[in-house]
Amino acid sequence: MSTTTEHTTAISAWAADVPLALHRMSMPYAQDPIQTAVALVTAGIGDPYVLYERAGVVHVAAGASAVLRASATHLTAHTADGAWTIPTAGRPLDRIAEALQALAQAQQDGRRAYGWATFELAHQLHGRDAGEDTLVHLFLPCVEVALSPGRATVRATDADWQRKAADLLTTAPSHHAPAPGTRPDSDMTAADPSHYREAVAEIIEDIRAGRLDKAVLSRSVPLGHIPVDLPATYLAGRAANTPARSFLLDLGGWQAAGFSPETVVEVGPDGRVATQPLAGTRALGPDTGENERLRRELLADPKEVHEHAISVRLACREIAEVCRPDSVVVEEFMEVKERGSVQHLASMVSGKLRDDLGPWDALGALFPAVTATGVPKRQALAALSRYEDGPRGLYGGAVITADTDGALDAALVLRTIFHRGSTTWLRAGAGIMGGSTPEREFEETREKLRSVAPYIRRPGE
C-alpha cells in the first residue's frame, strides 16, 4: 500500500469514527446571550470549550468527540476509539482540509470544528522553522449551543449532552457583567522591562535601510502568578469593547479571553472570501470631542495612512492568489472603526474563491494577518524573531470555526488576556514604519492594552 493510500485510509477511518450529532432542539431563554454563554461555561457544560461570538450570535462548543492537532511535521486525529498520526509533508493545513473533507463525506448533515492556530504557523507557511509544538488545534464538540436573542439551539452527539445543555439553560445562574473596575492600568502597562522602545528604534533603522517596509512589533505584560477569573474578565471586557469577534476558550493547554478587532479571513459556503485589515491607530475615550479630534488626526496622518495603504495592498495581493481573476475588490476603504479603547483605519478586501481551492487555502494565503506581522511578511517575521522575546503563541494567531460545508471564520487574536501553565499575561503591538518614533509606538501599545487591562477580574470580584 502506498504512503498516500495509507494516509487517506487513516483520515477516512478517523472521519468514520467521529460520532454523529443527531440530537437537536430549540428552546427559549430569558437572559442576555453573552451572559448566558458565560453561565454555561462556568456551570460546567464541558471541557474543553470555546465560546465564540460572531454577527450577533454566541456559540458555545464543549466536550471533544474528536480532535485534530497539526504540527509542522504531523497531523494527529483522535476519537474516543482511536488515534491516527500521518506526516504533514510540510503542509499541515492541507492535511486538516483533507480530514474535514472526509468528515463532510461521512456525515451528510454537516459539522463545525472549533479551535485555534498559533502565530508560529506563520513561520511554517513562510518557510521558516516553526518548532515542534502544535500549530493548529481543532475539536468537534459533543454539544453546541447557539444563542440568538431569546432563543437557544442545541445540537449534541447524544441525549445526555443535549439534556445537560437544556438543564443548564434553565437553571444556570445568570452572570451579569461586573462594572468597570479601577485596576491600576497605568502601573501595569507603563513599564518597559523588555526594552520595547529600543527594539522599535532598531526596526526603524532596518526599515530605513530598505530591509522591510513595516513590522508589527509586540511586547508582553506579565501578570505573574496572580489568579485571574477569565470568564468574569471576559464579561467585563466585552461590556466595554466593540469587537469584530469575541471569544473565551480553554483548549489544548491555552486559556484566553479576547475581543478581536478584525478577522484574518472569512470564507462563506458560497466561496466568498473576505479579510479586514486594520492599520492606523488613535486612542478612543469618554470625551467625544477629543475622539473626533483624534479621528481627524488619524485620517490626515501620513504615517498612519501609508501604513494602512500598504497593508491593504498586501491583502489584495494575497487574496488574489486564491480568488478568481478580477473578482478582488476593496470595500469600505479607510473607514474608521471603533474598537474598545482605540479607533482604527479599516478596509475590507473580498473576492470569489477559485473552484480548485478551499477555505484552508484561503487561510494559508492570508495567515498571519498583515496587521499583526508586517510587509513583506517573510522579512517582517525575521525581524520579529530578532527583536521579540520568544514565541508569540496564540497572540497574532487565530481562533477558528470551520464548517464541513466550506465556511471558515478566523478571528485575529489581539486584545486578549492569556493563561498557560501557571502564568497569565497581556500582549500588544504597534505597526512600525520609517516615520515611527519609539515613544509614540510604545504609547500605542498602551492604548491597545487598555482594551483589556482595566477589566481584569480576580476570583471573587
Could you tell me the mean pLDDT of each successive run of 10 residues in the chain, 461 residues long? 73 93 94 94 96 97 98 95 92 96 93 98 94 96 97 97 96 66 60 90 97 96 90 95 96 98 97 94 92 94 92 95 96 90 93 97 97 95 94 98 98 98 95 95 95 92 74
Task: Please list, residue by residue across 429-454, b when 16 or more beta carbons sit within 10 angstroms of its beta carbon and e when fewer do.
Answer: bbbbbbebebeebbbbbbbbbbbbbb
Its sign, for the CA torsion 350, 351, 352, 353, is negative
CA dist., res. 373 & res. 428, Å (int): 12
Q: How far is CA 423 from CA 218, 253, 418, in A?
A: 18, 12, 8
Rounded to whole angstroms, what are the CA distances from 291 to 236, 281, 442?
22, 12, 20
262 is catalytic: yes
Active-site option among 202, 262, 304, 441: 262
Residue 390 corresponds to which amino acid? G
Instruction: Look up cell 474578565; give the residue.
Output: 233
Residues in the chain: 461
Domains of the chain: 3-171 (3.60.120.10), 185-455 (3.60.120.10)
Quote the pLDDT of residue 8.
86
**What are the residues facing 411 on neighbouring strands?**
263, 399
Q: What is the pLDDT of residues 295-340, one digit of tens each?
A: 999 999 999 999 999 999 999 999 999 999 899 999 889 999 999 8
